[in-house]
Chain A
Amino acid sequence: MADVLKKVPVREQAPKVRAANFEEVCLGYNKEEAMEEAARCINCKNAKCVGGCPVSINIPAFIHEVKEGNIEEAYKIISESSALPAICGRVCPQESQCEGKCIRGIKGEPVSIGKLERFVADWARENGIKPPAPAAANGRKVAVIGSGPAGLTCAGDLAKLGYDVTIFEALHEPGGVLVYGIPEFRLPKNKVVAAEVENVKSLGVKIETNVIIGKSTTIDELLNDEGFEAVFIGSGAGLPMFMGIPGENANGVFSANEYLTRNNLMKAFLDDYDTPIARGKKVAVVGGGNVAMDAARTALRLGAEVHIVYRRSEAELPARVEEVHHAKEEGVIMDLLTNPVEILVDENDAVKGMKCVRMELGEPDASGRRRPVEIPGSEFEMELDTVIMSLGTSPNPLISSTTIGLDINKRKCIIADEETGKTSKEGVYAGGDAVTGAATVILAMGAGKAAAKGIHEFLSDKK
């Protein structure tokens, strides 16, 4: 019998094998494994895990159904709270959310809530179970800008309430970061993302791709000329930052966004797609978040030797523990307490290396993390042909600069009420990374949900 203090292990592709392909790393539970893991849940009365879930899924209730083998029931319970469970089960940082609060985690490992959610959602998809049908149409139009998790969730919730919802998406595929950012080996595009988008469409939501709000049309026009009564902005935080060090414009220096977009959205890793990607031999990824891990593991799969260059130590890496672990298993080399100061270029302006300096941790800074300080005289050079900058992103000012009366803060984030998503402009709501700056999928979904409720109240009063 398995150790009840431990999670039922989940099957994964072997590190050596997966480091050379773009197939999903984690293979997920089968029904027997899921039922066995579900049996570890003690069905707490005052379940702490629910409080740790940003959209408050009734976790003990769905796990109970899994334990009994009633997967369809379990799916219905999850669907009451979450629109994209196959995605959340894969990418949420459960260790700091639901699983971080699980009672089982006090003495042993917490219940594997994320893997169970994922199993339920995958099972539902494979068995053709759809989310419940929407309410009768009320004929009132709402526009949603951006088709990332925030926009999809807001649109889905509004459609369920009977609204006529159109999503406007700037890129040629819906999904936001789910399609252009997070790679195939963590989140399969056709199997999972496209299927969840189809579920949202099956509620009657229309998606118009290739429309950039602020360029192809504006929020004011949607409200004044196209008959939309409210607008939700879920445009994300997609603007990449660079370090501002010498050599950064050289050939072979990419933002993680460019590298990942070429690979994930444009499918540059497949031969029959037209978009090229630089297949470096020796790559450094600068940064330590999820995005850096994704870029590093992508470069590895394209055949490179890959280094993560991060200025603090392992304990401060902002990426999920599971991703760091996976990256290391696959052979990504961690150059910690290291900071780049210059990109070295050859006579054709192509990257040939990077000058770095070693760091040590000093006093804690305002965020409570120990601040890295340079060790004098510790400069050294790395030989490289590609550098990927993964230093974070900020919201694109395109929408705020073309919408009269929409207030933003000094970080260029849209100012919106947390409970309702209400902005400074009447009828305009916002949520997700556009409001918070780069955060997580589940927080974006939570914000989309809150705004759908806010919009419904606004329009019900307006009538």
Chain B
Amino acid sequence: MYKIKKAEKLTGPNYLMVVEAPRIAKHCLPGQFIIAKEDEKGERIPLTICDYDREEGTITIVFQPIGASTEKFTRLKAGDSFRDFVGPLGKPSELCTDDLEEVKKKKILFVAGGVGAAPVYPQVKWLHEHGIEADVIIGGRTKELILLEDEMKAVAGNVYITTDDGSYGRTGVVTKVIEDLVQNEGKSYDLCVAIGPMIMMKFTCMTTKKLNIPTVVSMNPIMVDGTGMCGACRLTVGDEVKFACVDGPEFDGHLIDFDAAMKRQMMYKTEEGRALLKVREGDTHHGGCGNCGGDE
């Protein structure tokens, strides 16, 4: 059993939990994820590691309820436990494993869409701890969907907030901000890391391709085991079939077939999940970042 030390509702539909998992906390690096299973009958749900405390032996996760299982998670309180909590899974972000001197030479832009701010945060924090200040764009459809603003500001270089409806920060979708920064505000970047709903990552990649900025994305296909034994998470990257849980979840965004990946992700959407998505339209599968592409 893995005890929940803190359970908190964030703004918008999002939740944060701090979970006791010493083995994971000791070994994880930014970019990796865990799989949580609530009880005996629950399913295995992948969630990115948003923060970790090696001394306390804890992992922080941030999630957005979009279907039956994540909805069930929202009812858990501090003191309750996950029956199963396994990780760290996937490869760490290359920024944390590549030669530090090389990474230091790069100007890096992070793009966080909606709940994607959670997986972006540990990478920016890690860079900050190693003397690198990266820029971050945080996008949301509306003000209450902007996550981790203060935390991000404490560790990033420049933080640009944008909302579709202009209720906070700049107005417009994240891709517009990228274009503004590069084309109108004299910024240049050697690398972009985009994390959020697939549709937002797709449009970000289209923009960065035009601007000639290499781009890394964190893919979130359906997973079962998360250890490479089933292939549920397979994706086409370039000409190759890759398993996101072991070969990723981060990949070269300019090589991903997003349309195919999005269709695969929809395979098991429950009726409830779909209904919920519809009600919250934009917050999840095509939003968070802003309506950067609308319904496909």
Contact = CB atoms under 8 A, between A and B. Distances in A.
Contact of B87 (A215, A254, A255, A257): A215
Contacts of A255: 230-232
A210 B268 CA distance: 24
Nearest to A267: B41
Contacts of A398: 227-228, 246
B27 A349 contact: no
Interface in B15-37: 23-24, 26-27, 37
Interface stretch (A50-58, A269-277, A285-293, A445-453): A269-277
Given A209-B84, A249-B260, A266-B43, A258 B228 contact: no
Contact of A170 (B86, B236, B268): B86
A249 B224 contact: no
Interface stretch (A7-15, A237-245, A306-314): A237-245
Majority secondary structure of chain B interface residues (helix, strand, loop or mixed): mixed
B23 A217 contact: yes
A246 B161 CA distance: 42
A261 interface: yes
A432 to B, nearest CB: 15
Given A257-B230, A258-B224, A262-B224, A215 B44 contact: no
Interface residues of B, number: 39
A4 interface: no
A3 to B, nearest CB: 46
B231 A240 contact: yes
Interface in B261-288: 263-264, 266-268, 270
Nearest to A215: B88
A458 B87 CA distance: 32
B81 interface: no
Interface string A390-429: 0001001010000000000000000000000000000000
Contacts of B144: none
A277 to B, nearest CB: 9
A172 B231 CA distance: 18
Interface string B241-271: 1000010000000000000100110111010
A242 B68 CA distance: 31
Nearest to B91: A215
B264 A251 contact: yes
Given A172-B37, A257-B230, A261-B229, A249 B85 contact: no
Number of contact residues on A: which range applies? 35 or more
Interface string B2-13: 000000000000
Contacts of B44: 172, 266, 275
A396 B84 contact: no
A161 interface: no
Contacts of A251: 263-264, 266-267
A276 B41 contact: no
Contacts of A77: none
B230 A261 contact: yes
A211 B234 CA distance: 23
A171 interface: yes
B179 interface: no
A300 B289 CA distance: 43
B84 A261 contact: no
Given A242-B231, A258-B230, A266-B43, A171 B225 contact: yes
A276 B84 CA distance: 18
A266 B224 contact: yes
Contacts of A239: 228-229
A238 B229 contact: yes
B89 interface: yes
Contacts of B104: none
Looking at B68, B232, B241, which has the most chain A CB atoms within 10 Å of its CB?
A: B232
Contact of B231 (A252, A258, A349): A258
A390 to B, nearest CB: 12
Contact of B228 (A249, A261, A266, A396): A396
Contacts of B27: 215-217
A274 B42 contact: yes
B69 interface: yes
Contacts of B236: 249
A209 B2 CA distance: 12
A212 B268 contact: no
Contacts of A261: 224-225, 229-230
Contacts of A252: 267
B234 A210 contact: no
Given A215-B27, A274-B42, A240 B229 contact: yes
Interface in A328-379: 348-349
Contacts of A212: 86-87, 89, 227
Contacts of A393: 229
Given A274-B43, A274-B69, A396-B227, A348 B232 contact: no
B41 A274 contact: yes
Nearest to A258: B230
Interface of B: 23-24, 26-27, 37, 41-44, 68-69, 72, 83-89, 224-225, 227-232, 234-236, 241, 246, 260, 263-264, 266-268, 270
Instruction: Give the 9 A-B CB pairs with smallest separation, nearest first.
Output: A258-B230, A238-B229, A210-B86, A172-B84, A275-B43, A349-B263, A274-B43, A255-B231, A216-B23
5 contacts: A170-B225, A210-B86, A249-B234, A249-B236, A249-B260
Given A171-B225, A257-B230, 15 more contacts: A170-B227, A210-B85, A216-B27, A216-B86, A216-B87, A240-B230, A242-B234, A252-B267, A255-B231, A258-B231, A266-B43, A273-B41, A276-B43, A276-B268, A349-B260
Interface of A: 170-172, 209-212, 215-217, 238-240, 242, 244, 248-249, 251-252, 254-255, 257-258, 261-262, 266-267, 272-276, 278, 348-349, 393, 396, 398
